[in-house]
Amino acid sequence: MKRFGSLLLVAVFAGAITLISYKIFFEKTNYPVVSDNTEMPILTTSNRPASYKGNGINEVDFTIAAENTVNAVVHVKNLTLNSSPGSLLDFFYGSESRQIPQVGTGSGVIISPDGYIVTNNHVIAKANEIRITLNNNKTYEAEIIGSDPNTDIALLKIDVDENLPYLAFGDSDEAKIGQWVLAVGNPFNLTSTVTAGIVSAKARNLDPVRDQSFIQTDAAVNPGNSGGALVNTNGDLIGINTAITSQTGSYVGYSFAVPSNIAKKVVEDIMEYGNVQKGILGITSPRLSTPYAVNNGINEIDGVYIDGVEEDSGAFDANLKSGDIIKMVDNIKVRKFADLTGYVSTKRPGDRIKVTINRNGEDIVIPVELKERQSIIVPVMGLRVKNLSENDKKIFNTSVGVKITGVPETYRGYGLNGKVILEIDDEKVNNIYEAKNIFGAISRYDKTVITLVDKNGEKERIIFQ
């Protein structure tokens, strides 16, 4: 009997170790994939104002919003196969590697009755297989229609033979600080979980490098909630839950959602164009924490201080100038850079906006036509390059290439700034997006040959290690 008890104890202990090992090594959330699809459903937009029934929590009814939302929020499972050596001997002697499955989970929101689903890019990135489980436990394999890592939004599609419950997009610009909201998702694989909170802040930027504009709430959001719904008390979608700020990996009081107006625009772009059409204003503004901003009082300005204007941008054509202070875009009050980028992120190249600036103490309204981004920082080498203007093409006597407008410290001794890149490893470069893709594909460990031309028409080939 004692021997049987010992064997039972060993079996239980071994099972626990196996379960813990699976959780640690195989259940991970991974990261993008893009495919094309020509189906274009009409997305529903709600025009209902969020209901306010009083100041006390007992006077606000969350039940209808919760009931309408849980059936439109799905569980997303991402299966990724990663190669790994079978043993230390396999690793050192180069034997054939094994395919190890890794499982990531998150949430998604049905946005049309025929099965289109919006989620976070980081929930489905690098997926070999994506499975969607509805609130009624039906499971489907999903196709990735497209994704945008910059906004962390992805669009999925499942084939269904019935109309599904879905959420209408609300107007996130109308969300007010202090407004009640619900976060709906699948934290820790607990399906159909609803938490309540308020909008704590708007236009929140979490990344000093990327321009972001999140809705911040105090509704509890945990791992697995990513890609789920943030809704108002009507049950209208005003955000896609995306991130938390935490030192433990779990909720500690702050959660962040991509505003619905940005998510809707990204989804519509993917459906119509296959990628995201981003219109930019074309201005730069100093970070408020920099010594320059502090010493010049820019961090105390109520608005966005224009530090520079990009050539060939909408701001350049509209004659916006360094020193102007942007106070408003259309009817949106601008107090910080994230307010500006959050609104402009909902626009496309060719859209016109009215920009209210303060110039020398006088408020002026200037119409600006947004343009496609003309400059970008390429991966690996970190060069800033811009598309050639018609004037550039005449000066450099070329119809192809990208002009270098910024060089990191590592490469400043090569005299690159102001020259035009014609080819990278004998591959012609026509625009900044081709440059980004080609630089992104080169290895950090191999030699790269860049062909350049200067204003005198002299070509040179530089080899970089």
Distances (CA, A) of 148 to 98, 119, 144, 284, 397: 31, 11, 11, 23, 35
How far is residue 24's CA from residue 31's CA, in Å, rounded to a whole number? 17
pLDDT value for 72 = 96
pLDDT value for 29 = 40
pLDDT value for 156 = 97
pLDDT value for 41 = 67
Kindly report, residue by residue over 108-132, the tens digit of the pLDDT: 999 999 999 999 999 998 889 999 9
- Residue 313: active-site member: no
Backbone CA torsion sign across 412, 413, 416, 417: positive
Q: Decide if 432 contacts 376 (C-beta within 8 A).
A: yes
pLDDT of 54 strictly over 50? no
* Residue from 226, 260, 285, 375 carrying the catalytic annotation: 226
Instruction: Tell me the chain's radius of gyration from C-alpha atoms.
Output: 26
- 3-class DSSP state of 196: strand
Beta strands per DSSP E along 167-274: 180-185, 193-204, 214-217, 229-231, 237-244, 255-259
Give the model's confidence band at 35: pLDDT under 50 very low, under 70 low, under 90 confident, else very high: very low
Give the model's confidence band at 244: pLDDT under 50 very low, under 70 low, under 90 confident, else very high: confident
Which percentage of the chain shows pLDDT scores above 90? 50
* Residue from 148, 152, 236, 269 carrying the catalytic annotation: 152
Q: What integer is the mean pLDDT of 269-287?
A: 88
Beta-carbon count within 10 A of 414 CB: 14
Of the candidates 60, 46, 257, the residue with the CA atom closest to the CA atom of residue 167: 46
- Residue 305: strand pairing partners: 325
Please give the residue that has the higher pLDDT: either 389 or 93. Answer: 389
pLDDT of 93 strictly over 60? no
Q: What integer is the mean pLDDT of 294-312?
A: 82
Name the strand (E) or helix (H) holding 23.
helix 2-25
Which percentage of the chain shows pLDDT scores above 70? 82
Of the candidates 170, 402, 374, the residue with the CA atom closest to the CA atom of residue 278: 374
The secondary structure of 271-340, three-state, reads: HHHCCCCCEECCEECCCCCCHHHHHCCHHHCCCEECCEECCCCHHHHCCCCCCCEEEEECCEECCCHHHH
> Residue 267: is it exposed, middle or buried by C-beta count within 10 angstroms (0-12/13-18/19+)?
buried
Give the model's confidence band at 81: pLDDT under 50 very low, under 70 low, under 90 confident, else very high: confident
Which amino acid, one-letter code, is at 433? Y
How far is residue 233's CA from residue 242's CA, in Å, rounded to a whole number? 20
pLDDT of 2 strictly over 50? no
pLDDT value for 28 = 43
- 3-class DSSP state of 17: helix
- 3-class DSSP state of 58: helix
pLDDT of 27 strictly over 50? no
Q: Decide if 109 contacts 146 (C-beta within 8 A).
A: no
- 3-class DSSP state of 407: coil
Q: Decide if 86 contacts 95 (C-beta within 8 A).
A: yes
pLDDT value for 96 = 58
Distances (CA, A) of 362 to 331, 356, 359: 18, 10, 5
pLDDT value for 80 = 85
Please give the residue that has the higher pLDDT: either 11 or 103. Answer: 103
**The whole model's pTM is what?**
0.73
* Residue from 112, 122, 171, 375 carrying the catalytic annotation: 122
Task: Provide the b/e sequence for 161-198 (b: ≥16 CB within 10 Å).
Answer: eeebebbbbbbbbebeeebbbbbbbbbeeebbbbbbbe
pLDDT value for 23 = 44
Per the listing, tokens 């839950």 go with 241
pLDDT of 84 strictly over 70? no
Give the model's confidence band at 205: pLDDT under 50 very low, under 70 low, under 90 confident, else very high: confident
What are phi and psi for residue 224, nearest 5 degrees? Answer: 110, -20
Please give the residue that has the higher pLDDT: either 19 or 119. Answer: 119
Give the model's confidence band at 69: pLDDT under 50 very low, under 70 low, under 90 confident, else very high: very high
pLDDT of 369 strictly over 80? yes
pLDDT value for 167 = 96
Mean pLDDT of the chain: 83
Of the candidates 232, 221, 249, the residue with the CA atom closest to the CA atom of residue 168: 232
pLDDT of 317 strictly over 90? yes
Please give the residue that has the higher pLDDT: either 403 or 382. Answer: 403
- Residue 192: active-site member: no
Please give the residue that has the higher pLDDT: either 430 or 208. Answer: 430
Kindly report, residue by residue over 255-269, the tens digit of the pLDDT: 999 999 999 999 999
For the ranges 112-121, 150-159, 174-183, 206-215, the lowest mean pLDDT is seen at: 206-215
DSSP, res 95: P
pLDDT value for 320 = 96
pLDDT of 312 strictly over 60? yes
Q: What integer is the mean pLDDT of 268-289?
A: 86
CA 424 to chain CA mean position, Å? 28
pLDDT value for 19 = 46
- Residue 35: active-site member: no
pLDDT of 8 strictly over 80? no
